[in-house]
Each structure stands twice: as structure tokens, then as C-alpha cells.
Structure 1
Amino acid sequence: MTRAPRPADPSGTPLPPPVQRALYRANGGDADGFADCFAHDGTVNDWGREFRGRTEIRGWSEAEFTGKQVTLEVTGARTEGPTTTVSARVGGNGFNGPSDFAFTVDGDRITLMRITG
């Protein structure tokens, strides 16, 4: 079953392309595609736990994100410099509820995704 991605916030503000791709891949359950949205030395910071590099990010995603059939419904977004914070309603077989994801982007890749709330 394919879950529909939410590539922009409800006001229509476009998200940076790497963030759009990451949300699309996460909502599609694609751990490999999600990890490939990151720079080779990119990092996921999940409430202080850091997963660095695509291999670690893929493993984290399979265990705790895409592997839990995560769904991310974007409810808002704001960009300050290279960082876009996406507010989303999280669903799936893991954490459910509102959360914020701060994505730092460099070029066409994410260098950091920090789960902030």
C-alpha cells in the first residue's frame, strides 16, 4: 500500500527539493531512498541519538521510521537560512502525534535531520 506524500505545507509554501524527496520516500516506506536524500556524512538526530552516514541512517529508518510504516502529514513549515523546520502529524506503527523535523540542506542533499518536538 502506497501512502500519499505531503510535499508542501498547507499554505502552499514549497519545501526545498531534498526535503520533499525525503518526505516522499518516508511516506512511501522506502528506507534506501530516504537515506539517499542525505549527504554521505549526513546525520539524523533523533532526540539526541545520532545516526551518521547513509548506512546508519538507513538502519535507523528501517528500525524506527520507514520500517514502522511512518506517515508524515505536513501541517506547517518555516525556513531560516539553510534549515527548514517541518511540523507534521506523525502516524504509523511507532510514535503517533505532532512532531517537528528540522532539515538542514546543502545543495541537493540533507546534512542534518533533527527531530525537535
Structure 2
Amino acid sequence: MTTPAGLPTAVQRALAAIDEQDNDAFVAAFAPDGFVDDWGRQFRGPDRIRSWSENELIGKRATFSDTRVSTPGNPLTIVTQVGGDGFNGPSHFTFEVRDDLIASMTITA
């Protein structure tokens, strides 16, 4: 995946972790109280984010392609084509960053 320019460092780290299939690095990109909101299902804190990723993202060998920023700023939204052994299709990922860590990542259509 080619990472779009101008992304916050925390988001760059999370996307690189997905690209490298590194769940530890993915979880480390989040604040201790950070969360993933996957179509309304929330997973808060490192243990729940790790479990979610093992079952829904990195554990499903997810790939992102054709990634672009659709809404710059904080929160920032990217649009990407998700591939892998789980969900496949276009998705929006909205990231809120706080203190160089991801406070939230919300996934929608």
C-alpha cells in the first residue's frame, strides 16, 4: 500500500502495521483508552483492540489498496479498498489522534 502524504504519525504507524501484518505494532499505535468502532461495535483498550484485530483485521490478513484521504484534519478520514480473508470492499476509516496516538478509529461504509 502506498500511504497518502500528510497523515499523522500515529495513523502512518497503524497503516504500516496493517501492511506488515504486525498486530503488536497496530495495537501500539492506539492510546491506552483508545478504541475501534467497527460498524457500531466498540472495542476499547489494548486487549480488546488486539482481539478485534486478530479476528477481524490482521488475523484475516487484511490489505488496503487505493488508499486516499477523503477528509483531512483531526478527525481524518481515509477511503480504502479492503482485501484479505475477511471483509472485502471499500471502507472509510476515520481516525482521531491525541498526543501522537490514535484515540479512535471508526469504520463505516
TM-score tier, shorter chain, comes to over 0.9
Equivalent position amino acid for 1:102 in 2: T
Match of 1:79 among 72, 75, 80: 72
- For residues 54-96 of structure 1, the C-alpha deviation after alignment (integer angstroms, 9 at most, x for no partner) is 111011001110000000124320213x211010010100111
CA contact (8 A) 1:43 1:57 kept: yes
Equivalent position amino acid for 2:103 in 1: T
CA contact (8 A) 1:27 1:69 kept: no
Q: Distance in 2 between matches of 1:85 and 1:59?
A: 23
The corresponding residue for 1:107 is 99
The corresponding residue for 2:58 is 66
Give how far 1:116 is off.
1.6
* SS of residue paired to 1:63: helix
The farther-off stretch of 66-75 and 107-116 is 66-75
TM-score (norm 2): 0.93
The corresponding residue for 1:23 is 15
The corresponding residue for 2:46 is 54
Q: Distance in 2 between matches of 1:105 and 1:74?
A: 22
TM-score (norm 1): 0.87
- Residue 32 (structure 2) pairs with residue 40 (structure 1): yes
Percent identity of equivalent pairs? 46
The corresponding residue for 2:3 is 7
Number of aligned residues:
108
Moved runs in structure 1, 4+ residues, more than 2 A? none
* SS of residue paired to 1:57: helix
**What is the RMSD of the two structures over their aligned residues, measured on CA atoms?**
1.1
Runs (5+) with no aligned partner, structure 1: none
Q: Distance in 2 between matches of 1:42 and 1:68?
A: 22
Q: Distance in 2 between matches of 1:75 and 1:31?
A: 20
Runs (5+) with no aligned partner, structure 2: none
CA contact (8 A) 1:7 1:14 kept: no
